[in-house]
Structure formats: C-alpha cells, structure tokens
Structure 1
Amino acid sequence: MKRRSILGGAIPLALAAAGRAARAAPPAGLATNTDHGFNSAGTFDIVARFADPGPSGIAITPDGRMFVGFPRHAVDHKGATLAELRDGGLVPYPSVALSLPSDRAPADRLVSVHGMTTDTRGRLWMIDDGKLAGQPLRPGAAKIVGIDPATDRVIASIVLTPPTLLPDSHMNDLRVDLTHGAQGTAYVTDSSFGTHPALVVVDIATGRQRRVLAHHPSTQTEPRFMAVVEGRPLVFNPSHQTFVSGGVDGITLSPDSATLYYCPLTSRRLYSLPTALLSDFARGDAELAAAVTDLGEKGVADGLATDPQGRIYTTNFEHDAIFRRNLDGSFDTILRDPRVLSPDGICVHDGHVYCTLGQWNRLAGFNGGHDLRVPPYLLIRCPTDPPAPLSSLPA
C-alpha cells in the first residue's frame, strides 16, 4: 500500500512538471511528424477487392478504363491473367481466348501479365513475363504486347528471345516511349528470378532488342541488403530468399519521355538515364554507364509512377506506404497504412495514385512453405495531393 501511494503521488507531480516545462518552452519551428504515432497517414479508397489470384499490374486509359494484371509466376492460377474492371467485376481482356489458360502456343496468348502501362496515345502495353509457377520459361511466352483499347485489338506482340531473354529472366515492368523509334521504344526491367538482372530495350517497329547495363550497379541487388517487412528484419540471400527481392524492377518515364527512371527492388536508390541514349542501339554499355545518374535514396520501392508535373511516386513495402518524390528531390508521405501490404503496381490518373496490394511477402516461398496471404487483395487509390502530407514540415 505504501509503495502504491508513493507512485500515485509521484505520477501526477511528474505530469504537472512536464506540463509546466512544455508550456514554458518556446514554440517549435518545425514539426517533423504531425500525427504523433496515433494514426495512419493519408486516406485511400478501396477501388476493388479480389478473392484470388492476387493482382500486380495496373493501367488506366485517359478515358478511365481500368486494366489489372494477374501474373502466374508465383501461383499458376486458372483465372484471367489480364482483365478489365467493369462495374466492379473482372472481364477477361482482350478476350477469353487470349487471357484464360488454353492449349494455344505461348506466343499466341497471354501467359503471365505482369507490369502494365499506357503510352501517350492512350494505348495499353504490358510485359508478359511468360512464367508459370514451377515451370521453365517456354519459347514465345515472354513478350511485349500492345492493345488499342479503342478497338480492343492487339497492335503489337514482340517475343523476347535469347540472348535478350535468359533462362532465369523475370521480365517485370515496362514503359513505352513514343519519342524515339518509328513506332516507339519499350524499356523493360528484367529483375531476374536468379542473379542476372538488366534493362531491356526493344524497338517496337522492328522488334530489335538487347540487354544493357547487365553488370552495372544501378541494375543489381545490393549484397547483404536488409529490409524490415511487417516488423521482421530480413537479410537478402539469393540462395534462400525470405522476402520479395530482385534486381532492376521499378521503372517510369518523365512526362516528356526524355528521362527514364528506374531502381532495383533490393536497393534503396533511384537512377535515371536519358532516353535519347538508351534508345540508340549504337550506344554501348560503357557510354550508357557514364550517363547513369544516381539520384540518391528513395526507400525500398517496387513500383514507380510519374504524374504530369514530373513528380515520382514510389511504393514502399517496408513502411506500408506510398511516397512522392518532388521536383526538388524532397519526399512526402502520400499514404501509410498497415493495410497497404506489398504495394506493387502503381499508376497516376486524374489526380489519384492507384496501387495494387498483392500481399506478395506472405507467399509460401518466403515463409517456410506456409501461404500467409489473407484475401481479399485490394486495388486502392489515394489523392496525389492530400490536404496535409504526414511528412510535411510547416514553417
């Protein structure tokens, strides 16, 4: 009883003293964190919920048509690998024959749609990584596919072939630049299922293709890299992977397509290259390497996207967040919420950031054979300019 009464008297006194000290202190010039750890940052809408499989790529046309990719490299599911979201439901796109599993040759159907984008003419492009879980890559499966939403017809299908395509390639994401090449140039990130990442450049008109910067630090994983995923510190080990990892992965273009931004998944750095050089097949690796700009840290990002102002949005699976890199190189937290698990595909449309949440870090392969994912998987959106970003520093 005596001890309890002593503590009971000490606590109010301490609180009172703290209160007097706080009132006596001069006003703070900057507030580094306005939520004091009590709330999530930002607001988001749930656009769609998916039972199975988990979503990855997301692309939206200028008139608002929304397309989602469901790759088969982690789980060989029997649903559509590409679908249009209509009235809250998924419709295989551009047709059942192309999007659902079938006996067609891999070159004549969509096998495993991963990264997606639209070009400046509003056409849909995707990278078909061609991989079915537990199976080797088949010839013709990995390819770049373009579809014109105005007609729902395939306008391009460029099969990736050796030596551009390696047995352990993981063609992950892409962007299409219409300012270089007769019909444009596609830039693809091969994050690799093994240890051979690189950037891939493809001339859309001719199908000419090549790997570049396959040994440059800007495309590689960082040795002994550590990520904190759902509170667990995990160290990258290519022979025993315990979290989503890989080489060059995130990719986006500046609004004028003059600059390509990219980053390895197992890294915190952001890099850029002039597309005038990257699209020129006469330029060798040494010249490209000399033109790479290291833009510094941006956190652990999977997807990248650019808004019309040139600001870059990055997913971050360590913080369950979406960050924005401003034109001056500073960052804001656009969204942070414990439900934002494994933020993956990302795009910007009409003042909002759209992002798929596939819970990839909970796959059985990263968790001792136990699939820890809990459907539904989400497609969310949040405003590009929330009223008061968590990380803003008011004067």
Structure 2
Amino acid sequence: MFIINITAYTQKTSRKVQMSTFAESQQQWTGIAISKKDRVFVNFPRWSQETPVSVAEIIDGKTIPFPDLRWNSWTQNTAAGNNQFICVQSIYADHTNLLWVLDTGYELSTDTTKGARLYCFDLSNNTLTHEYFLPAEKITEKAYLNDFRIDHKNHAVYFTDSQVGGIVILDLNTNEVRRVLAHHYSTLTEVDQIVIEGYERKHPVHSDGIELDTTGNYLYYCSLMGKNVYRIPVASLLDKKISEAMLETKVEKYAQTGANDGIIFNKKGELFLSSLEKNAISKIDKKGIFTEVIHNEDIKWPDSFAFDTHGNLYFTTSQIHLPKEKRSTYKIFKLKF
C-alpha cells in the first residue's frame, strides 16, 4: 500500500501568500470554476427556498445568471429536465473552453432526487452542447453527487457521492452509469465528528473532494467526514473485467490530512486541500511534504478551488458549520503566491 507519512514530513510554510477578497454574496455558494480566458463562475445549491440563482458568472463583482435567467428560474412546480437548473452542487471549466455543470436534481421538499444531470456549455457562445442524465434507478433516489472531474482521455466523468458513498462513473460515449467502491472505507465517513470553530458536526458525509493528477493516471478523493486522501489508478476504475473485490485492492492511502472538502492539483503536481478544522488552505508537494499554506479566521469552510491562468488560487467559503444567524457574507478569496 502506498502511504505518505504526513506526520513525519509536516512543516510550516515560510513563504508569503497574499490573500484578497475577490467577490462576496449574501447567498451560499459552493463551487467555483475559471475558464481558460479567466472568466469566473460560481454555483449556489438550492438547499433552501432562498436560492434565486443556481449558476452565475462574476463580472465586476456582480453575479450574473448563467447562461441566462430562464435556466435559473426553476421552482418546485417546474418539470425536471426542462433546461432549468434544480440544485447545482459543483461546476468545472476544462482546457477546451467548456463549462460543465452538475445538477444533483435534489429536491428540498422530498429530500430525494429523480436523477442527476451533467450539462456542458460552450463558453465561446454560452450555449448548451451536451446533456447527460444519471437516473435515480442507477444512482438511487438518495444519491447526492457532490464533485466531479472530466477525463477527456478516456471519455469518462468521475463523481463523488456524499450521501451514499462510492465513486460514480459516467461513460460519455455510451451514457453508461456505474457505481464502484460503494462499500469501501475510502469512500465512507471515517470519523464520528469534526469540530470547526467550536461547532461539532456529526452528520455523516461520505466521498466529497475529487481530483485527477496532472498525468491523468490517478484519481484522488476523500470523504468530508474523513482524515485521509486516497487514490486509485484510473485504468483500474475503467476496467470492467475486474471484480469489486479486486478493485478495492487497487485503492492506495495517499496521505493523512484531516477533514477536507475540495482538493485540487496545480501544474507542479502539488495537491491543495481545504483544511476545514483549521480555517486553512494546505498542500502536499511532490515529495510528500505537508504544508499549511495559509491560516486565516476568515477562511470559514473553504469549499471548492479553481486556478486562473496566472497560477492564482481561488476558493469559495460556504460557512456550512455555522448557524445561519452566525454567518457573514459568503466570500471568494484569491491567493497569490
């Protein structure tokens, strides 16, 4: 088993990092994506009735509904699958100038989903190019697909499921949907509770953060209520001939890190982590050295990451641990190295 001994290699950073506020909102956001032309997008999950916009582009500090207002005008009385967002959890901008939007299909009134959808928009003209449906019969009505990565090389998408656990795989060529590692410890809650700023969270949250390495050969992931980051060879995930038991043997413990939400690699192959319990952003370099990049009390539940073309790191704060009356405005911070 491949293991990095984080305790042995932990060190404090001496490098100065500049943190600035990029945008603020009264609405709770989770995901962030930055295009190859440095357009910045965010999403707002519909976890309450007070969510007027699902996906937006940030222009001059303002959130502009994307791709338009109609897409963002879904209500409980609107039929699903009518080119309207229901509950968007995460977004991703790829190197081909496409914006991918994960709509969980989660409906607050029933606490279930009839199925998730993955939308693909061409940012050259802001139009929908592809739509993929992941039916409840395949992912279960209790599923809550959380984060995802696009594997262009193998025409596949990998999703975490924070409600059920496991890794969900979508074949972009055939639309086949599979769930793997559903009962494996690496995709399930590992701890009974996490404590952030004195607030305890005990609700189990399974597989959450996910990322492909710079080679595309390994998929990294972690549970939010967890303490480790794991990885598995992509080739093993895509091999339909091996049994689930054999697939489980391919999982490697990459590092012990504490509770994380989002994770992301930079071009150098360094893995950045949202250290929830520390109000911090951390990273693991290629030598396995774990570094706290920045700690700041304003970093309240760092959720999702994105890099711009200049190597600056952006992340959302969703303040999930705080009671609503204790929350301030939701922020996007920018780190300049």
TM-score by length of 1: 0.77
Q: Distance in 1 between matches of 2:44 and 2:103?
A: 10
Aligned to 1:334: 293
Equivalences for 1:349-364 in 2 at 5 Å? 349=308, 350-363=310-323
Q: List alignment gaps of at least 5 residues for structure 1.
A: 1-30, 36-40, 364-370, 386-395
Q: Distance in 1 between matches of 2:232 and 2:13?
A: 36
Q: Secondary structure at the match of 2:210?
A: strand
Q: Secondary structure at the match of 1:333?
A: strand
Equivalences for 1:252-291 in 2 at 5 Å? 252-291=211-250
User: Compared with structure 1, are the counterparts of its residues 64 and 164 closer, same or farther at alpha carbon in structure 2 (3 Å cutoff)?
Assistant: same
Aligned to 1:83: 56
Once the 2 structures are TM-superposed, how far is the Cα of residue 373 of structure 1 from its aligned partner?
3.9
Equivalences for 1:73-152 in 2 at 5 Å? 74-102=47-75, 103-108=77-82, 109-140=84-115, 142-152=116-126
- Amino acid across the alignment from 1:251: I
User: Compared with structure 1, are the counterparts of its residues 263 and 138 closer, same or farther at alpha carbon in structure 2 (3 Å cutoff)?
Assistant: closer
- Amino acid across the alignment from 1:159: F
CA offset digits 1:174-222 (Å, max 9, x no partner):
0000010xxx210000010xxx311100011221111100001110112
C-alpha contact (below 8 Å) 2:30/2:90 kept by paired residues: yes
C-alpha contact (below 8 Å) 1:70/1:82 kept by paired residues: yes
Larger Rg: 1
Once the 2 structures are TM-superposed, how far is the Cα of residue 160 of structure 1 from its aligned partner?
1.2
Aligned to 1:186: 157
Q: Distance in 2 between matches of 1:137 and 1:34?
A: 43
Q: Distance in 1 between matches of 2:144 and 2:93?
A: 21
Q: Which among 189, 201, 205 is matched to residue 221 of structure 1?
A: 189
- Higher strand fraction (1 or 2): 2
Q: Distance in 2 between matches of 1:335 and 1:79?
A: 33
Q: Distance in 2 between matches of 1:84 and 1:59?
A: 9
Once the 2 structures are TM-superposed, how far is the Cα of residue 138 of structure 1 from its aligned partner?
4.3
User: Compared with structure 1, are the counterparts of its residues 156 and 283 closer, same or farther at alpha carbon in structure 2 (3 Å cutoff)?
Assistant: farther
Q: Distance in 1 between matches of 2:11 and 2:145?
A: 39
Once the 2 structures are TM-superposed, how far is the Cα of residue 34 of structure 1 from its aligned partner?
7.8
How many aligned positions are there?
324
Equivalences for 1:1-80 in 2 at 5 Å? 42-51=17-26, 53-72=27-46, 74-80=47-53
CA offset digits 1:365-393 (Å, max 9, x no partner):
xxxxxx2343311011102x3xxxxxxxx
Aligned to 2:329: 376
C-alpha contact (below 8 Å) 1:147/1:154 kept by paired residues: yes
Q: Distance in 2 between matches of 1:82 and 1:199?
A: 24
- Amino acid across the alignment from 1:208: E
Q: Which among 284, 304, 307 is matched to residue 266 of structure 2?
A: 307
Aligned to 1:7: none
RMSD of Structure 2 on Structure 1 (CA): 2.0
User: Compared with structure 1, are the counterparts of its residues 33 and 67 closer, same or farther at alpha carbon in structure 2 (3 Å cutoff)?
Assistant: closer
> Is residue 250 of structure 1 aligned with residue 209 of structure 2?
yes
Aligned to 2:6: none
C-alpha contact (below 8 Å) 2:113/2:143 kept by paired residues: no
User: Compared with structure 1, are the counterparts of its residues 307 and 95 closer, same or farther at alpha carbon in structure 2 (3 Å cutoff)?
Assistant: same
Q: Distance in 1 between matches of 2:120 and 2:254?
A: 31
C-alpha contact (below 8 Å) 2:32/2:42 kept by paired residues: yes
Once the 2 structures are TM-superposed, how far is the Cα of residue 305 of structure 1 from its aligned partner?
0.8
User: Compared with structure 1, are the counterparts of its residues 222 and 32 closer, same or farther at alpha carbon in structure 2 (3 Å cutoff)?
Assistant: closer
C-alpha contact (below 8 Å) 1:306/1:347 kept by paired residues: no
User: Compared with structure 1, are the counterparts of its residues 235 and 154 closer, same or farther at alpha carbon in structure 2 (3 Å cutoff)?
Assistant: closer
Q: List alignment gaps of at least 5 residues for structure 2.
A: 1-9
